[in-house]
Structure 1
Amino acid sequence: MALVVSTYMNTYWRFKPHLLMVLAQICYAFLYFITDASFNHGMNPHVFVTYRHIVGGVVMFPFAYFLERRARPKLTLALFMEIFFLSLLGVSLTLNMYFASLKYTSSSFVTSIANTIPSLTFVMAVILRLEALDVRNPRGIAKILGTLISLAGVITMTFYRGPAIQSFLGSSKHTTNSVHKSWTKGSILIIASCITWSIWYIMQGITLKKYPAQLSLTTWINFLGAAQSAVFTIIIQHKQAAWRITYMNDLWSIIYAGVVCSGIIIFVQLWCTKQKGPVFVTMFGPLATALVAILAYFILGEKLYYWQNTGSGHYHYRSVLGLMGQR
């Protein structure tokens, strides 16, 4: 009996990072449905980013303060600036660029590009020698092929949108030049967002070696990221009404996103990064996209895709996954 229990425990500890990352993606999938209604009500996404990380910081602070009093290293100025930059990459800069890119492109395009983060992270990890690349191993070959296919898809989706199709209404108001400029701007924003996101994952592993207190690091990331996002939001949003929470659903979505996604899940990702490395953590990202599609189809009865006119004579693929970058 003891041998059986020991076997189960060994299996659990071996696959604990995998289990935690799967649970994290399930939480991200529910985040889409909870916050979708808030954005439909008119809640500003940049304000949402600020509020959720304030909540995340407040929730994680007491755990970090009491549980890591002895394990927390001294915070030097150099280390603080490193955490400040880490917060900039993972919270304020990345998420705000993501939401800005949604204004200029399509939701499916942004979601598809965001799913290349594992490939970008893998390339950066190999360059920085944080990930071993064995071309003689089938796993190593699979990683290389997956990365090449993923990056090729990004280039194709960014620079090729197919030939123009004449509208059935015969309208001449389509301005391909302005739409092309918007699409290019959005493409640059989402690609830049994915790059900073990948750097964030890589940098987590580096920072954890100097500051292994994961609860405290999670708290710092939330508070600093919230402050940075607040400054950015104030610059682009001058209406005080945008900061008001007018619906109860908005409040609950902020609480859920703050406590679960900005608090617990960031801590889980830091722990898994320390155990398995940054590439391992990013590998589970596309799972949330698939879960959202499945839940939206079977529970909400939404169609997984449809073709929609972009207004420029082009038709592009849209899906119900447009807000997956809320993470």
Structure 2
Amino acid sequence: MSTSHDGLCGIGELAERAGVTVKTVRFYSDNGLLPEASRSAGGHRRYGRDALDRLRLIRSLRALDLPLPAVRRVLDAEDGAGGVLEDVVAGQLRELGSRLTALRWREAALRLVQECPPGERADRLRLVGAVTAPPSTAPLARFWRGWLPSRMPARATAAFLEAAVPPPPDDPGPAQVLAFARLNDLVLRPCPGDEQPQPEAHRATGARGAAVLYAGLAEAYELAGAQLRQDRPPHPGEALDGFVAAYASAYGARDTPDFRRLLARQLAADPRIDRYWELVAEVITPPGGRTEPTPGSAHDWLLAALDAQTAAAAA
């Protein structure tokens, strides 16, 4: 790299060979990324034979927008930078993905405001302004944790939250942004009497029984969801049997015609959160896509099947 008798080169020569400014070389040196070999009698920086390759590597890493601490990790790696470089690049890709998702949410929110009627803009600004980009699902999870029976096993709670809390889409349309903002507003709104309505099953089965109940319901909802995707009307079958069996197991009862009639009446009287599930369907359904089943729509399908069955048996 240098024609100097000691094999070293000055900062100006190094900068010229690397195609950067002297200020850039000085910056990397001052931050410990490009060590100096020595100083001249006049106090000028001198660099060794490997400085040019190191500087070029620094430039390549910075061109990938890696922050200085990440660049330092790669340069200081003892294994030739292979494993460390892979980890650093993977981390940068995750961060970039999060930033891109945030930008897509902001773009969709701007389109939502731009395209809505002038009389609705103030309300939509209020709704989207209360949601981060990308949005957090923490308020939704808190809503359901307050609704579920206390002391319900953590694994059962986590499984329910996975089904009940929709993941925000990475590339949403304006309608999905609006639906999520409305969902966020819904769960943050105070409940009448400061207490969420509870279904009878929560009081009758307790925390352990509720865990059994929701495990069975998850399987029944999945089966009903397959029927919904095929546009099949509510009917008796495996999904309904699993639905009733979940309640029977939680209550310690037998699945009999009398039990089914009592269950149909109880479920008809239970509090409903229809608006929540309507909004969830809007969040998870891509623009122009087919409406995806939710636990709420699966529950309605199963309840309709149960009502039809008990009505037919009574007739």
Query: TM-score, normalised on structure 1?
Result: 0.21
Alignment TM-score, normalising by the size of structure 2: 0.21
**Larger Rg belongs to:** 2
Bigger RCO of structures 1 and 2 (CA < 8 A, at least 6 apart): 1
Normalized per residue, the structure richer in helix is 1
